[in-house]
Amino acid sequence: MIRPLLSFLLVVLLGSASPALASREEAAAAYKEGTQQLMWGEFATARATLTKATKADPDWAPPYTALAMAMLELGDGTGAELQINHAGKLGVKPPASLHLLAFALVLQDKQNEALTLLERGKIDPKYKAYAARVRGIIYDRMGNVDAAGAAYDEAVNADGTIRGLWGDVASFRYRRGDVAGAIDAAVIEAKNAPRSVRAMMIMGDLIRGRYGLIAALPWFRRAVQIEPANIDALGELAATLGDAGQTLEMLTVTRRMIAADPNNARAFYLQSVMAARAGKYDLARNLMYRTKGRMDEVPAAILLNAALEIHAASHESAIARLEKLSGMQPDNFKAKRLLGLAMLKAGDAHGAASVLASIADRGDADSYTLLLMARALEAQGDIAKAAPYLDRAQASAPAGSEPFNINGDMMRIARASNGPVDNAWQAVPYINKQLLDGNLPAAVAHARRMAELNPGSPAAQILAGDALAFAGQHGPAIEAYRRAADLRFDATVALRMIETLNVMGARAEALKVLDYYLSQNPRSVPALRIAAEHLLDNGQWDRSIAILTGLDTRLGGHDAEIARALAWAWFSKGNSAKALAYAREAYRLLPGNADTASTLGWIKYKSRDHRAGSFALLKKASLLRPEDPEIHFLLGQAFKDQKLKAAARRHLGFAANAPHYANAAKAKALLAKL
């Protein structure tokens, strides 16, 4: 496994001159140790050891070449070039070092110069695989996917033991969407270089996407164990710990980052995120200030800064940041939503409406975005235009989401397309258009073709699952989602699996999916919502309240559905005062919503001291959603209690005869008593 590199180093060694024996012996010992460290992938340690070798005998070439190799794996192209040039002065001929020099040039963003060197220079056949690896990196950076893939294939076929090669292949495959291939490559890299921080971090990154946050932590911890002061490894560990809710350990790791690098911007950013999550906004702003602008091009940091500025009423500054972010990431809905809010608060209702329109006009727009859009239009005096958005916001769920969450540009591609295409960027809108036009067989067939053509791509499997689910083929849809989950088990696929399994009536299996996803991603808001709902349905009030209260705090108390769920949880637990408070808050947030109206109406009715207005609220809910059996069931019980038998029979009869209604049997039993 280590023979190719050692043979190269020995060739260089045999062609070198001999300085003083004592210095040579000291240098040789360090050189031997350093090359072994290179073999294991301990590149930072090897750099330090080989530097000692060059100092022990400055006139001996091999340590300089080996040191260059270590520097290349650490991304230091400038330093590597210096070592290669020094080795050349000591007798190392170009055929033995051109492949290394080309890599050094690539790391200095000199792709064309590096490619010319590889094409025109004479390279020793022993280093053909390494040269092919460098060509793969060059073509990848140039965006020539086919040439990059061919070069990487040539490299692994010539010598698959080169340290760093399989890591490059893993990154290349992952960016192309071939998650299965990326994982296979990362596993080989980890075996080839078991003490390579880069190999451990690549594995951690892929495992985080495939299985979740908790599963990734051992890989990042292993990277930190190998190099305790490696800032990149510490940063990934801290970020993953924070996302997993392990804040105390995250804080410890960020402090280690600052100890190793007192001005480390990422450490202060991560601490700022932690402070903001805890509601300590002044502290969060102070910590972001300590980044000294070095995170200003990082999208997540831009979003955090903007949110903190909105909280501090610095709306114009927030707008500037969010406009920049929207330019960088046009499909970042969080950025657009926050930009719309900042503009609305700054008095620019027209600008807010323009920004929010692309999100609010989607079928799956959330209620908060719809409310912002309605408020922006109302502020312009356009009440008629605002009304439909307000009506949609008051609904309990989106009217119907688009199959694949695509934007207007992609729909234009779809309209211009005359037939099926194999390119994913065009295939998505094409399939979406077929579904929306009612041509389900064509859409499903093409989605399945895309999944077959891209078996290692989770996106392709999700595409097939979405098409099948939209067409009502839930069994095959679940199989497609499972294939996607085997590659990348993230919120996108987990929530689709849960929803589809529930539609199929496989509730127990849906809960297994939910439990596993939450075990890996304990801070996931949508998953926690589903878990709280399940606990509420099964009478586990305290656990449901704990989850919902945490979500209410995290989301700033602006979510009507969470407030409504808390109202039912406290009501079921027997605390009418808290139940009423949350029910009123939910109704205040969404007064035109049937669920918030019926919840407040029923809780007021059952709280005898606050019964006034309860019937009006229940009737309002019934008018808002006349086909809802649960609202009829509540009204029927209330009318029965008031001895209004005709009204009670009408409403209970509706509930009793509603297909698939969970409380139909209870409604029938109450009817029998009238």
Are 300 and 210 members of one domain? no
Contact indicator for 446, 424 with CB cutoff of 8 Å? no
- Of 21 and 28, the structure prediction assigns the larger pLDDT to 28
> Residue 21's pLDDT is what?
60
The number of helices, as runs of H, and strands, as runs of E, in the chain is 39, 0
Residue 243 lies in a domain: no
Where residue 334 falls (left for φ over 0; alpha for ψ -120 to 50; beta otherwise) is alpha
Q: In this structure, are 34 and 170 located in the same domain?
A: yes
Using the 8-state DSSP alphabet, how is residue 126 labeled? G
Residues 195 and 322 in one domain: no
- Tell me the C-alpha distance between 572 and 536, whole Å: 9
Count CB-CB contacts under 10 A for residue 292: 11
On whether residue 256 sits in a domain, the answer given is no
Query: pLDDT (tens digit, 9 = 90+) per residue, 604-630?
Result: 999 877 778 899 999 999 998 899 999
Contact residues for 108 (Cβ-Cβ < 8 A; gap 6+): 77, 78, 81
pLDDT: which is higher, 394 or 75: 75
Query: Could you tell me which of 87, 22, 85 has the C-alpha nearest to residue 59?
Result: 87
Asked whether residue 387 carries a pLDDT value surpassing 90, the answer given is: no
Residue 92: φ, ψ to 5° = -75, 120
Burial 169-193 (b: 16+ CB within 10 A, else e): bbbbbbebbbbbbbbbbbbbbbebb
CATH number for the domain that contains residue 373: 1.25.40.10
Q: Which of 197, 214, 231 is the last residue of a domain?
A: 214
pLDDT of residue 426: 62
> Looking at residue 148, what is its pLDDT?
96
Cα–Cα dist 356/377, whole Å = 11
Q: Sign of torsion, CA 66 70 73 75?
A: negative
User: CB–CB of 9/39 below 8 Å?
Assistant: no
Domain match, 68 and 183 both: yes
Q: What is the pLDDT of residue 410?
A: 36
Q: Which two tokens stand for residue 443?
A: 């859409």
- pLDDT value at residue 396: 55
Spell out the residues 6+ positions from residue 399 whose beta carbon is closer than 8 angstroms to its own.
363, 392
* C-alpha 112 chain-centroid distance: 34
Contact 546, 569 (CB under 8 A): no
Q: Are residues 191 and 323 in the same domain?
A: no
Q: Are residues 313 and 207 in the same domain?
A: no
Half-sphere exposure of 93 (CA within 13 A, CB side): 9
**Are 96 and 199 found together in one domain?**
yes
The answer to whether residue 364 sits within a structural domain is yes
Predicted confidence at residue 557, as pLDDT, reads 80
Instruction: Identify which has the larger pLDDT, 560 or 253.
Output: 253
Among candidate residues 127, 211, 140, the one with its CA nearest the CA of residue 169: 140
CB 82 within 8 A of CB 47: no
Q: Are 143 and 21 in the same domain?
A: yes
Residue 274 has pLDDT above 80, yes or no: yes
- DSSP-derived letter for residue 423 is -
Is the CB of residue 664 less than 8 Å from the CB of residue 629?
A: yes
151: in domain: yes
Name the region of 246 (left: φ>0; alpha: ψ -120 to 50; beta: rest). Answer: beta
Encoded tokens for 120: 């025109």
Residue 101 pLDDT > 50: yes
Question: Between 654 and 420, whose confidence is greater?
Answer: 654
Q: Which residues contact 356 (CB under 8 A, 6 or more apart)?
A: 336, 337, 340, 369, 372, 373, 376
Q: Is the pLDDT of residue 12 over 80?
A: no
**Whole-angstrom Cα distance, residue 394 to residue 375?**
13
6, pLDDT greater than 50: no
Look at residue 390 in the predicted model and tell me its pLDDT. Answer: 83
Say if pTM beats, i.e. exceeds, 0.85: no
On whether residue 451 sits in a domain, the answer given is no
How many structural domains does the chain have? 2
Classify residue 175: in a domain, yes or no.
yes
Q: Which residue among 394, 427, 448 closes a domain?
A: 394
The pLDDT of residue 31? 94
Structure tokens given for 192: 């080839």
Q: Tokens at residue 285, please?
A: 């702003």
Residue 353 has pLDDT above 70, yes or no: yes
| H/E element, 85 | helix 77-89
Please say if the pLDDT value at position 559 is more than 80.
Answer: yes
pLDDT tens digits, 168-220: 999 999 988 888 899 999 999 999 888 899 999 999 999 998 889 999 999 99
Domain co-membership, 334 together with 208: no
Cβ within 8 Å of residue 75, ≥6 positions away: 107
CA-wise closest residue to 46 among 7, 84, 72: 72
The residue among 372, 394, 416 that closes a domain is: 394
The verdict on 76 and 182 lying in the same domain is yes
**Alpha carbon of 439 to those of 292, 435, 445, 468: distances in Å?**
55, 6, 10, 12
Does the structure show a pLDDT above 70 at 7?
no
What are 106-160's pLDDT values in tens digits? 999 999 999 999 988 889 999 999 999 999 999 999 999 999 999 999 999 999 9
In a domain, 651, yes or no: no
Tell me: do 325 and 191 sit in the same domain.
no
Q: Which amino acid is at 533?
A: E
- pLDDT 10s digits, 398-448: 444 444 543 443 333 333 344 455 555 567 777 877 777 788 888 889 889
pLDDT at 480 over 70: yes
User: Which range marks the domain in which residue 338 is found?
Assistant: 296-394
Assigned domain for 615 exists: no
* pLDDT score of 32: 95
CA 245 to chain centroid: 15
Please enumerate in sequence order all residues whose Cβ is within 8 A of that of 674, keeping only pairs 6 or more positions apart, or say none.
Answer: 640, 645, 648, 649, 652
Q: Is the separation of the CB atoms in 306 and 328 below 8 Å?
A: no
Please check whether residues 337 and 209 belong to one and the same domain.
no
d(CA 374, CA 382): 9
| pLDDT(465) > 90 | yes
